[in-house]
Structure 1
Amino acid sequence: MTDSNSSPELVFPQLIVGLGNPGSKYDQTRHNIGFEAIDALARRWQISLSEHRKFQGKFGEGWANHRDKMRLLKPLTYMNLSGQSIRAVADWYKIPPEAVLVIYDDMDLPIGKIRLRQSGSAGGHNGIKSTIAHLNSQNFPRLRIGIGSPKNQPASVKGEVISHVLGRFSVAERRTMDEVLQMVIDAIEMSLKQGIPKAMSLYNSRAIGLDVDAS
């Protein structure tokens, strides 16, 4: 199943970006799961990440599965300015938005679920708002990782939202998230081999561990 506005021609990711906030106080918080995904991919593909001033982020390039040239990025601009860093890399390597895959957290998805899309709005996520603004396009793929909502209820109070996204996972949630990160790797590797629509059809319906009864 593909989005109605997707192109029939497959475009494979060339740059994978994980969103988060820099600094040790944000390490392993829910809002930084995008950073964790990039770290997991870097380990998997043996790509070394280092701080790159021109790109305003931690950046590395290498080979995914020894066959696909890949660039990985963790913007260090803080979440609401992520697009600056992404645009700098995309411009330098002449990568079109359609080949920029952005990974980030989503409170509307329960823990244990991921969701791939080929395009779409920001959905209230400041990092994606910034990315759309700087790429001047919504037509880039994204992979959302479920972090659940506060106390499993819809997040409506701003203070609750901030406390939730900047909080850390419980021990049980952490175990689930470790499995989710492996699923993220599997989904991305399928995207590189067979295209994002194929990965969407398989992984958008999968669920791991906690809270998997929600959609």
Structure 2
Amino acid sequence: MVPDVSPVKPTLLVGLGNPGAQYDRTRHNIGFEVVDTLSQRWGVACAPQKKFQGAYGEGFATGCGKVRLLKPSTFMNQSGQSIRSVLDWYKLAPEQVLIIYDDMDLPLGRLRLRLSGSAGGHNGMKSAIAHLGTQQFPRLRVGIGTPRRGDRKAETVSHVLGKFAPDEAGLVRDILALCVETVECGLRDGVAKAMSLYNNRDLAAPDMEVQMEVQTGEGRAV
């Protein structure tokens, strides 16, 4: 007899980013923007919490139950310290965490939800994995694309720490809305269900309307 396996439903939603006005609305801070969007939608205010080394809030998401939101105020490569402190305080398991962050290997307009995996070169995720002691926790990667021209290696830092171009504003707004849908589905029905519904969406594709119908240490900034 196959044992009944309950779906993974996160309760702590973490957006990765860098603190400070100079990093506000940059590509690397898209995780912060997703959490801000969720905060506004659910009416869950986040305020600085010294014990968590970040902005933290808790409340209820309609149809999804109790949620906790966190934006670490450490630099990106120390994000795991903040996440670990919340897990320890509330005695949460790693699989109850959903970490939301930018991914340059995905184009703008795409996202990728996973139940586990490696850091993929992302320093914030390296820190999270190190402090949680496992790779077995959900994560939502939000595409920010690659530099439009020139040498990718030389321009990577300026790209991720740069702001989205004016002609990308509409697509950014749409992907934030899609992130909200994806997160709410994961909270309500489980991460695996949300993966099946949203991982193949491409908001930049010209036939998007058809798709939607068919699918229904030292602180460092980078």
Same fold (TM over 0.5): yes
Query: Equivalent pairs: percent with the same residue?
Result: 55
Which of 51, 73, 76 in structure 1 is aligned with 2:73?
76
Q: Distance in 1 between matches of 2:49 and 2:186?
A: 27
Task: Indicate which of 170, 173, 176 corresponds to 2:168.
Answer: 173
C-alpha separation in 2, matches of 1:67 and 1:80: 31
| 1:93 corresponds to | 90
In structure 1, list runs of 5 or more residues that go unmatched.
Answer: 1-6
Instruction: Tell me the equivalent position of 2:99.
Output: 102
Could you tell me which residue of structure 2 aligns to residue 136 of structure 1?
A: 133
CA contact (8 A) 2:64 2:184 kept: no
Runs ≥4 in structure 1, deviation > 6 angstroms? 210-213
Residues 154-165 of structure 1: pairs in structure 2 closer than 5 A = 155=152, 157=153, 159-165=154-160
Deviation at 1:209, TM superposition (A): 2.8
User: Aligned equivalents of 2:73 and 2:87: distance in 1?
Assistant: 16
Asked whether the 8 Å contact 2:74–2:82 carries over to 1, the reply is yes
Paired with 2:102 and 2:149, the residues of 1 have a C-alpha distance of 15
User: Normalising to structure 1: TM-score of the pair?
Assistant: 0.91
Q: 1:165 to 1:66 in 2, by over 3 A?
A: same
Confirm or deny: 8 A CA contact 1:112 1:211 kept in the other structure. Answer: no
| Counterparts of 2:5 and 2:141, CA distance in 1 | 22
Cα distance in structure 1, aligned partners of 2:15 and 2:102: 9
Q: Is the 8 A contact 1:110 1:212 kept in 2?
A: no
The answer for the alignment partner of 1:40 in structure 2 is 37
Displacement of 1:9: 2.9
Q: CA deviation at 1:152?
A: 6.4
Q: Quick one: distance in 1 between partners of 2:149 and 2:186?
A: 31
Long gaps (5+) in structure 2: 209-222
Alpha-carbon RMSD across the aligned residues, in angstroms, is 1.9
How many residues of Structure 1 are paired with residues of Structure 2 in the alignment? Answer: 205
TM-score normalised over the length of structure 2: 0.88
Q: Displacement, 1:163?
A: 0.5
- Partners of 2:63 and 2:188 within 8 A in 1: no
SS at match of 1:169: coil
User: Greater CA radius of gyration, 1 or 2?
Assistant: 2
